[in-house]
Structure 1
Amino acid sequence: MERIEVFCPATIANLNCGFDVLGLALEGVGDVMHIAKTAQSGIVIKQLSGPSLPLEAEKNVAGVAALSLLKALDIKQGFEISIEKFIKPGSGIGSSAASAAGAVWGINELLGRPLSRKQLIPFAMEGERLASDVAHADNVAPALLGGFTLVRSYDPLDVLRLPSPEKLVATVIHPQLELKTSDARKLLKSQVELTKAIQQWGNLGGLVSGLYEEDYELIGRSLQDVIVEPNRSLLIPGFDDLRKAITDAGALGCGISGSGPSVFALSKGKKMALAVAEAMRYTYEPLGIPYDVHVSKINREGIHLCSTTA
């Protein structure tokens, strides 16, 4: 193949109790990348649509991730990456991760798949390092692997794929506010009370168990964040009212998507997820802040091919 078109999904990270280690991939919400081999070496970035991005490869998350991959493989082949950007930067649903992971996945395909999807994660993480000063994997891992993922360890990197219960559906509201991950991280405390850490560990274990057992009530009980959410929620207008409306509508649980400002909810079944979407709209309409709402099943495939040209 000389050219490839790739769908790069949006993702929800942290999932309340799994700061920097848990994430999931969404269906139908994401970017599209067109990646082609070029006669010259290096990476060329072009943007076809969406919010303006840096076009210098060294300043673009897709470019940085791609360059790190080529350097590791000692590849002289050049590539042109054209981006249709549908995930707004700073939205909290993995905008930078979609670009970084999509770039390395697409280039890997054009090179004949020398690396597995898991082996691509460290290179996509370099794009995240550029975006947020931290090479975290909670967004790029589900983007590449699909479904739910857990980063068991960062040193050495150990990423696990978790089950995705069939009836689980996500609803996400994205207030049209940009909240940079690097800024949101500055609100985090460097130390955590032991009692809160114990509660968070219990929720993380409960959520993982709920996914394996397809115990939707356990999943809902475990979607609690006593460490990060109390600080970050202050940056999201109407968060407390939104959480109450989502809970009253029947969602299993809800929380901040990534670093925000997006807020997600998980529900059992699409009918309930749509009711949650209406509750989100009803709550946010009086605030006068533009917003988007997405209802999505869990994307078990992750990044995937749209089309190819030989």
Structure 2
Amino acid sequence: MKKQIKVFAPATVANVVCGFDVLGFAVNEPGDEVEMTLTDQPGVKIVQITGDNGKLPLESHKNTVSVSVQHYLKHINREDVGVEITLHKKMPIGSGLGSSSASTVAGLFAINQLMGSRLTAKELIPFAMKGEELACGYGHADNVAPALMGGFVLIRSYDPLDIISLPVPTNLHAAIVYPEVDVPTKDARQMIRTKIQLKDAVTQWGNVAGLVSGLFLDDLDLVGRSMKDVLVEPFRSILIPGFEELRNIAIENGAVGFGISGSGPSVFALTKDSLTARKITDLQQAHLTKMKINSSAFVSAVNTEGPKLL
């Protein structure tokens, strides 16, 4: 049995505009890496974190990676195992790209491999959700499920948990831009209305169903028509500088659809090829530079494999 392992887990785009907390997909970059070593001393330890500028806790009861690994070991009755974890943050924290999720998923995938792959990717999701609960106060699965399973994922139900893999249309790419402004997930969640009008709910149901249908039918025009959000985006987009201009740039330059990634501030466009995606990110970054806002961009096909051994 292996004693040491290094794993990469991908960033994710949660919500996919209309599917708040129930839709998400994985991308090839960015992502996080975890190195994990089994030791003879029982307990889970974070020995080092790189790339986080000291923002993340090293205490094992406060870090999403170690907490989810502890839950996993308890579940398989192996709390006698000693684990040392080094986390390499390769993606921006608080970007709306599932930063905590990528770290957590890398850790869970690593420990599951070291323990002989006892659980499937889908069976690991509840443990990853424990990490999300710690990170933002609510154990949602729209980041961790696609990070673990790859591709597009629908969370049909949270209680009981019912997760469905959706097809990925051919050549679909994501054009992601992260404006370097601060939008904490907890704050963004607090902006969401708790009561909604029935007509808005009907609009949203139609769009979620349309997006899922578009993925199954390989109909990107239907996917694009369905990427509209009347419940969450009108409030969250206020926190993102130049949001409407960024949308216009995307749509005018051939995007299938455009919206906020997770709780923001990252925005994403779906495109029919990588060249269109690259053109959109270049123009959006130029616009943000004019606004004196630094940004990072990522162009990626949809990641269909999830976490991988390095």
TM-score under structure 2 length normalisation: 0.97
Matched, 1:211 2:211: no
Task: Indicate the residue corresponding to 2:286 in structure 1.
Answer: 282
Q: After superposition, what is the alpha-carbon deviation per residue over 1:246-275, rounded to whole angstroms, capped at 9, x for unaligned? A: 111110111000000000100001121112
Larger CA deviation: 136-145 vs 235-244: 235-244
Aligned residue type for 1:36: T
Aligned with residue 302 of structure 1, among 297, 302, 306: 306
1:46 Cα deviation (Å)?
2.8
Aligned residue runs from structure 1 range 7-86, under 5 A: 7-51=8-52, 52=54, 53-75=56-78, 76-86=80-90
1:47 Cα deviation (Å)?
2.9
Unaligned runs of 5+ in 2: none
Aligned residue runs from structure 1 range 104-123, under 5 A: 104-123=108-127
Task: Indicate the residue corresponding to 2:202 in structure 1.
Answer: 198
Q: Specify the SS of the correspondent of 1:134.
A: coil
The share of aligned pairs that are identical, in percent, is 48
Aligned residue runs from structure 1 range 252-271, under 5 A: 252-271=256-275
Aligned residue type for 2:248: K
Task: Indicate the residue corresponding to 1:159 in structure 2.
Answer: 163
Matched, 1:183 2:187: yes
Task: Indicate the residue corresponding to 1:229 in structure 2.
Answer: 233
Unaligned runs of 5+ in 1: none
Tell me how far apart the structure 1 counterparts of residues 187 and 156 of structure 2 sit (CA, whole Å): 25
1:279 Cα deviation (Å)?
2.0
Aligned with residue 124 of structure 1, among 110, 128, 134: 128
Q: Specify the SS of the correspondent of 2:286.
A: helix
Tell me how far apart the structure 2 counterparts of residues 291 and 274 of structure 1 sit (CA, whole Å): 14
Q: After superposition, what is the alpha-carbon deviation per residue over 1:2-23, rounded to whole angstroms, capped at 9, x for unaligned? A: 1111011000000011000100
Q: Is the 8 A contact 1:249 1:279 kept in 2?
A: no
Q: Is the 8 A contact 1:21 1:150 kept in 2?
A: yes
Aligned with residue 154 of structure 2, among 147, 150, 154: 150
Q: Is the 8 A contact 2:101 2:131 kept in 1?
A: yes
1:33 Cα deviation (Å)?
0.8
1:67 Cα deviation (Å)?
0.9
Q: Is the 8 A contact 1:245 1:283 kept in 2?
A: no
Q: Is the 8 A contact 1:25 1:299 kept in 2?
A: yes
**What is the root-mean-square deviation in Å for CA atoms of aligned residues?**
0.9
Aligned residue type for 1:6: V
Q: Is the 8 A contact 2:49 2:58 kept in 1?
A: no
Q: Specify the SS of the correspondent of 2:192.
A: coil
Larger CA deviation: 251-260 vs 179-188: 179-188
